[in-house]
A and B are shown apart, each in its own frame.
Chain A
């Protein structure tokens, strides 16, 4: 059930980890792998920008992953920004009224700037 790969690239911008999800969909098939991968790639960083510009679809399980990741960083006195959500991801956040819970930015540079 959870064998779908979750592809991600990571780079550090100062103390901030910038992760780009390259898998098109975050759903029930890869949600657990997604969370594990994100946390591993962040290392010791407390601040993270998650680039969702290539993600076409997120279901409720994928949404749970985003929430879990946000809570992880908040617990470490860090924070997470979402960057470049596609229309489908925007609709998901609006419908669930979580756009106010996540800090959402049009692109990575805006998200990075918000940490300044």
Chain B
């Protein structure tokens, strides 16, 4: 405790800038300078004047300080009497402002008793009490502050030991801290101390490597906030203050965690890719394009890498084919797994029921699927919608079991009309005892059956949601072209590629191509010399299988036939003599089918991944390009006797892809 007496001393006259006060525990006073009177005057507050015994004496000191600048912060006064050093007082000059009423520039000031000790006490009070520091240190943290006025840091606890500092414990110049920062982190460090944030809610948060005197570079995390200078607190200043933590180990662990998370994410991607590959390649054998009188094409695009939509085409012989489109609730791998199981169950139920030798009815198949897997779906909190369609070439009928799926669309290009069919059953897995029924309707030659998942209905095209009617109208418009099935599937594919689609898109289209089908065929030696006879045959066969076609159509068929034929000669027979190729041309309604049958090595090029020879103007590689551009579809097959075949389907007027 300092002495109670207060003595203010001033060296009036010849004042050299030193200003000496002796103060008690509550030393404060006002210091004013009149604008018209450049002399500074000091007023002690009431307590002080009482203590000093100078009550009523307001003008304690009058002296000329007009040109004296004590600096903006603390002014430490030199002790006059070394024997009572601790009682000499410094004072801190803070705040200024013009008081218009009294024509004074006001400055509040606080005298600091026992300057060296007191300043430490004040610093401790400002930056944290001893107990606070201990608590903070126990958490592995140290308090820090940075003053923009002095460009100095003040560190507490363990962080003091990292720097030499100014000699005053904890006080470290900015430059010294900057020097200890890792070169790669210096810019980050500077950004945070470039200027005082104007926003009181601003935060300081960054990690930098700081050189430890013994351990080398360590990762350190700075957290803090601004402390704005206030007029009420003469000791306040524009500072940043907060905590600092040696997080070297934490950063190492964080990095390990991040690497583990990254590995996990990569693993998930790999799992998704495998699921996608299984779903698209292993579980989905490319469906046959022709079954009986039905020309079939499909597409399925998951919204994720793998998803719950699925489709299947199940030829049953005798021109009968079952078509399946299903949609399992949910998305991602879980839905994909359920959909794979459900799809397998459909095929399994169909084959099990067919063991009796009698072709099972569609509703019996669906009932078996539901009875077998419905309960399991419920346990998984899942369900599935499905449309199961049987197309019958000879009966010219369609039979549908609709398990809560989107309605099946039937287009009739002949009458430019369409209709929807549905059997109004609940989805699989909703009610255990559901009994599934079917509906049956007739098909006319040229009718097109369109099955699709509800993802198509959620798609927005030109700002409007694509509803059932919209799909039907578009599909019907596609019927005006030469290749409606291709056009409809291409439409769905285009939606997938160009629109923001959030659900799976699946579409299965079947065209009923039946008419007075006529086939003309001839057998040729597998020799290039047969090119001219082959062209002659095509010209003749086209005239035999149907009404006249334009010369351009004939030219296209000739080119397709010659390219397919020369491929067989060169690749399947490799120029060997004694081989033959049987070429058949048939026509159904407005579609020609060219079929080449031959024995020999299997030759099945990947027509989906042809190099773009047009862009590079290559001299070779045009054969497959030409065939691909001329045909709506090209199918390679091999029968039980090993006879190979290539079937080229081309609707009249088909435009090159």
Please list the residues of chain A having a beta carbon within 8 angstroms of any beta carbon in chain B: 1, 4, 25, 27-29, 57, 59-61, 63-65, 67-68, 70-71, 87-88, 90-92, 94-98, 101
B617 and A95 within 8 A (CB): no
Do the beta carbons of A101 and B617 come within 8 Å of each other?
Answer: yes
Q: Are B618 and A67 touching (Cβ within 8 A)?
A: yes
A63 to B621, CA, bound (A): 10
Q: 16 A-B Cβ contacts within 8 A?
A: A27-B528, A27-B562, A28-B528, A28-B566, A59-B562, A59-B563, A59-B623, A60-B622, A63-B622, A67-B617, A67-B619, A87-B551, A88-B551, A91-B555, A98-B614, A101-B614
* Residue of A with least CB distance to B556: A91
Is B559 a contact partner of A92 (Cβ separation < 8 A)? Answer: yes
Q: Mark B625-646, 1 if CB is under 8 A from A, else 0.
A: 1100110000000000000000
Beyond A57-B558, A87-B555, is A27–B619 a contact (Cβ under 8 Å)? Answer: no
Contacts of B532 in A (CB 8 A): 25
B516 at the interface (CB under 8 A from A): no
Within 8 A of A (CB), among B545-575: 551-552, 555-556, 558-559, 562-563, 566, 570, 575
Determine the distance from Cα of A92 to Cα of B629 in the docked complex, in whole angstroms.
10
A59-B563, A71-B619, A95-B629 known, 10 other contacts, Cβ within 8 Å: A60-B622, A64-B620, A91-B552, A91-B556, A91-B559, A94-B656, A95-B559, A98-B614, A101-B614, A101-B617
CB distance from A73 to the nearest CB of B (A): 13
Are A95 and B566 in contact (CB-based, < 8 A)?
no
CA A63 – CA B619 in complex, angstroms? 8
Bound: A74/B418 CA distance, A: 55
- Chain B residues with Cβ below 8 Å from A97 are 614, 656
Closest to A29 in B: B528
Considering residues A61, A88, A95, which has the most beta carbons from chain B within 10 angstroms of its beta carbon?
A: A95
- CB-based contact A1/B552 at 8 Å: no
A94 CA / B654 CA spacing, docked (Å): 12
| Residue B535 lies at the interface, judged by CB distance under 8 Å to chain A | yes
B531 at the interface (CB under 8 A from A): yes
Cβ contacts under 8 Å, A94 to chain B:
656
B531 touches A27 (CB 8 A): yes
Contact of A57 among B535, B614, B626 (CB under 8 A): B535
B501-555, CB < 8 A from A: 528-529, 531-532, 535, 551-552, 555
Most buried by A among B528, B551, B575: B528
Q: Point out the residues of chain B lying under 8 angstroms from A61, CB to CB.
A: 566, 622-623
Q: In the assembled complex, which residues on chain A have CB atoms less than 8 Å from the CB atom of B629?
A: 95-96
Q: Are A60 and B528 in contact (CB under 8 A)?
A: no
B607 to chain A, nearest CB (A): 14
A61 to chain B, nearest CB (A): 8
Nearest B residue to A100 via CB reads B614
Find A1's partner among B528, B558, B563, B622 (CB 8 Å cutoff): B528
Give min CB distance, A12 to chain B, whole Å: 27
How far apart are B565's CB and chain A's nearest CB, in angstroms? 10
What distance in Å separates the Cβ of B620 from its nearest Cβ neighbour in chain A? 6
Given A87-B551, A95-B630, A97-B656, do A25 and B531 touch, yes or no (CB 8 Å)? Answer: yes
Q: For B622, list chain A residues within 8 Å (CB).
A: 60-61, 63-64, 96
Q: Beta-carbon contacts of B275-292 to A below 8 Å, as 1s and 0s?
A: 000000000000000000
Chain B residues packing against A (C-beta within 8 Å): 528-529, 531-532, 535, 551-552, 555-556, 558-559, 562-563, 566, 570, 575, 614, 617-620, 622-623, 625-626, 629-630, 656
| A63 to chain B: closest residue by CB | B622
B620 engages A96 (CB within 8 Å): no
Per the bound structure, the CA–CA distance linking A7 and B552 in Å amounts to 25
Instruction: Given A64-B622, A101-B617, check contact A59 B559 (CB 8 Å).
Output: yes
CB A55 to nearest CB in B, in angstroms, measures 12
Closest 7 CB pairs of A and B: A60-B622, A60-B623, A88-B555, A64-B619, A91-B555, A68-B619, A95-B656
* Contact of A1 with B531 in the complex, beta carbons under 8 Å: no
Which residues in A have their C-beta under 8 angstroms from that of B630? 95
Contact between chains at B552 and A87 (CB < 8 Å): yes
Closest chain A residue, CB of each to CB of B562? A59
Instruction: List the B side residues contacting A90 at CB < 8 Å.
Output: 552
> Separation in Å of the B239 CB from the closest CB of chain A?
72
Residue from B575, B619, B626 within 8 A of A95 (CB atoms): B626
CA distance A68 to B619 in the complex (A): 6
Cβ–Cβ < 8 Å partners of B619 in chain A = 64-65, 67-68, 71
Determine how close the nearest CB of chain A comes to the CB of B486; give it in whole angstroms: 16
Measured CA separation A68–B626 after assembly (Å):
17
Q: Which of B529, B552, B575, B626 contacts A60 (CB 8 A)?
A: B626
Question: A95 CA to B622 CA in the complex, in Å?
Answer: 11
List chain A residues, Cβ under 8 A from B551: 87-88
Query: Distance in Å from the Cβ of A3 to the closest Cβ of chain B?
Result: 9
CA distance A37 to B552 in the complex (A): 29
A78–chain B nearest beta-carbon distance, Å: 16
Which of B555, B620, B656 has the largest number of chain A CB atoms within 10 A? B555
Q: Which residue of B lies closest to A74 (CB)?
A: B617
State A67–B566 Cα separation when bound (angstroms): 20
A63 and B566 CA atoms in complex are apart in Å by 14
> Which one, B531, B556, B559, B623, contacts A29 given CB within 8 A?
B531
- CB of A80 to closest CB in B, whole Å: 13
Instruction: Give the docked Cα–Cα distance between A66 and B275 (Å).
Output: 47
* Max chain B C-beta neighbours (<10 A), residue from A28, A94, A98: A28
| B611, chain A: closest CB distance, angstroms | 14
Chain B positions within 8 Å of A67 at CB level: 617-619
Interface centre among B563, B622, B629 (most CB of A within 10 A): B622
Expressed in whole angstroms, the minimum distance between the Cβ of A111 and any Cβ of chain B is: 20
Q: Least Cβ distance of B97 to chain A in Å?
A: 81
Q: Which residues of B contact A57 (CB under 8 A)?
A: 535, 558, 562
